[in-house]
Amino acid sequence: MSPNTCWLCKTFRAEENGIISKVSLDEVLQWSQSFEKLIRSKHGPMIYKTYLKTEHSDENIEFWLACEAYKKITSQRKRIYVARKLFTSYIQPQAPKEINIDSPVKKSIIRNLQEPTQSCFDEAQRVVYMHMERDSYPRFLESKFYQQLKYRLRTDNNIPSVR
């Protein structure tokens, strides 16, 4: 059994992954309209993250989601702590979940780490979003992963299959 099949099996077992039992066919179909609809939907980010694991690129969605949470931090002390954690996890060279951003963006973040603002990761987040939208999102839509999810939801709802 390939690693991709293993992820598919885990994803589609509602008893192992409560998200699948909660996601609607309508929500899943909307994801094909735009990456924005996928990333802003209730269950889309977690389903997409599961898919990205099959591509070994789930650090992108993790970073993007972490940045969304980071922007909501109001305490400066907590912001400093989380900014450093984001840097060591995703930005610094050889970080455990290093994301693909260019040197000027990294240098800008390093400069802002002493007194991080809500927006200090915005450019890195934009770059990661663009990578996901242009690279992995089109593959996601064409993947067996997404196609089988639609099929399963159609079958569960007894809706005729239409592509």
125: amino acid identity, one letter: Q
Q: What is the pLDDT of residues 87-105, one digit of tens each?
A: 999 999 999 999 999 999 9
* The predicted structure's pLDDT at residue 20: 63
Question: What percent of the chain lies above the pLDDT cut of 90?
Answer: 76
Q: CA distances (Å), 43 to each of 49, 56, 93, 99, in order? A: 10, 20, 32, 23
pLDDT score, position 7: 44
Q: Which two tokens stand for residue 76?
A: 């400066």
| pLDDT tens column, 16-58 | 356 666 889 999 999 999 999 999 999 999 999 999 999 999 9
Of 33, 39, 104, 35, the residue nearest 67 (C-alpha):
39
Amino acid 22: pLDDT: 80
Amino acid at 146: Y
Instruction: Indicate the burial class of 31 (C-beta count within 10 angstroms; 0-12, 13-18, 19 or more).
Output: buried
DSSP letter at 161? P
pLDDT confidence bin for 59, thresholds 50/70/90: very high
pLDDT value of residue 73: 96
